[in-house]
């Protein structure tokens, strides 16, 4: 997918502090999440507009089911190292049978006299097409934001300001896979666009991709979100890590530990910490003072006793005085 507008110089990922955060940071990895796990249950769940006759919707559902089953069976045959004309014939028969069953099930339920809907067939076909459409999208999503100083983002995704925010630049060779989220009151996708996409229409594919992967309710607009699309799960980072920003409540020990862990990285990363911007509610970013941290860390508790003697000696001296 090509970028829909110019990509900012920096995009940011807010993270609560955890062992997974450390792993992703020091290993330079990203986790591409399954959209069904997002905190918004309506995210990546478009509603189909049945702008085609029922006969065309039936064909569209059959095509979607056929392609899905064919792909699943072909993958299974490859894993089992089955090949040859009999395997191809079997895949064709099974996928066609699955498509016919799906259509028959819809026709059966639409004929139920208790179904109080004059357009029952189109309604049920649209519902099944929605379900099949989502099954086609097995992409993972890595979410990013335009700002590193958004208090709401720190509260919601940055461990209530105890976590970190990672700043990335987007290399040219990656720019085609990153898109800006669109905020809209509806999550509609046209059946005619789905049909055109299956027929090879790239413009229609872009519209369907956007409806499925890139559309959110206006209430989420404060996130100013961008999305990198990839295979689900943990993967090497195709972006370039530029900044690590510590939250307002992030402990000094965490700052020291992560900064030290990244010190020998082949490409330098800048470290910052968030501070209050008095008397406003805004946050401001300040470069981390390594010299100040190195005065206090790493710390050894018994250094005090080595310098002044055991605690019992101190107490005896105090009692004498």
Contact present, 261 and 26 (Cβ < 8 Å)? yes
Is the alpha carbon torsion for 244, 249, 252, 253 positive or negative? negative
**What pLDDT sits at residue 314?**
55
Task: Measure the CA–CA gap between 243 and 150, rounded to whole angstroms.
Answer: 16
- Answer positive or negative: Cα dihedral of 168, 169, 175, 178: positive
Question: What pLDDT is stored for residue 63 in this prediction?
Answer: 92
| Residue indicated by tokens 């009692």 | 319
pLDDT of residue 147: 96
Q: According to the 3-state scheme, what is the secondary structure of 67-108?
A: HHHHHHHHHHHHHCCCCCHHHHHHHHHHHHHHHHHHHHHHHH
What's the confidence (pLDDT) of residue 31?
A: 95
Q: What is the pLDDT along the chain (321 residues), one digit of tens a residue?
A: 444 578 999 999 999 999 999 999 999 999 999 998 999 999 988 899 999 999 999 999 999 998 888 877 777 777 767 777 777 787 778 888 888 899 998 888 888 887 777 788 999 999 999 999 988 888 899 999 999 999 999 999 999 999 999 999 999 999 888 999 999 988 899 999 999 999 999 999 999 999 999 999 999 999 999 999 999 999 999 999 999 999 999 999 999 999 999 988 999 999 999 999 999 999 999 999 888 877 778 878 887 677 776 656 555 545 545
Q: For residue 163, what pLDDT is reported?
A: 96
Identify which of 48, 66, 65 has the alpha carbon closest to the alpha carbon of residue 192. 48
Asked if residue 197 lies in contact with residue 208, where contact means CB atoms within 8 angstroms, the answer is yes
The token pair that represents 235 in the structure block: 């993967």
Its pTM surpasses 0.85: no
pLDDT value at residue 117: 76
């Amino acid at each position: 997918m090509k970028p829909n507008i110019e990509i900012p110089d920096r995009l940011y990922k807010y993270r609560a502090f955890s062992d997974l955060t450390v792993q992703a940071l020091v290993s330079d990895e990203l986790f591409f999440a399954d959209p069904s796990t997002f905190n918004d249950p309506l995210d990546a769940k478009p509603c189909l507009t049945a702008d085609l006759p029922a006969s065309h919707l039936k064909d569209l559902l059959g095509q979607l089911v056929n392609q899905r089953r064919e792909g699943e069976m072909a993958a299974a045959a490859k894993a089992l190292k089955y090949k040859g004309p009999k395997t191809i014939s079997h895949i064709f028969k099974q996928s066609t049978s699955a498509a016919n069953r799906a259509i028959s099930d819809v026709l059966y339920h639409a004929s139920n006299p208790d179904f109080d809907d004059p357009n029952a067939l189109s309604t049920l076909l649209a519902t099944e097409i929605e379900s099949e459409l989502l099954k086609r999208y097995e992409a993972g999503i890595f979410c990013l934001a335009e700002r590193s100083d958004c208090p709401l983002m720190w509260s919601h995704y940055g461990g209530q300001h105890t976590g970190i925010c990672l700043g990335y630049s987007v290399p040219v060779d990656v720019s085609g896979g990153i898109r800006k989220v669109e905020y809209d009151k509806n999550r509609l996708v046209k059946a005619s666009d789905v049909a055109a996409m299956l027929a090879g229409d790239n413009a229609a594919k872009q519209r369907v991709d956007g409806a499925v992967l890139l559309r959110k309710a206006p209430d989420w607009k404060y996130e100013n979100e961008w999305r990198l699309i990839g295979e689900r799960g943990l993967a090497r980072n195709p972006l370039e890590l530029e900044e690590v920003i510590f939250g307002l409540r992030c402990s000094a020990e965490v700052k020291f530990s992560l900064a030290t862990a990244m010190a020998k990285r082949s490409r330098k990363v800048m470290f910052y910490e968030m501070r209050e911007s008095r008397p406003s509610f805004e946050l401001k970013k300040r470069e981390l003072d390594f010299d100040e941290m190195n005065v206090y860390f790493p710390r050894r508790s018994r250094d005090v006793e080595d310098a002044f003697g055991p605690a019992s000696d101190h107490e005896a001296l105090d009692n004498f005085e």
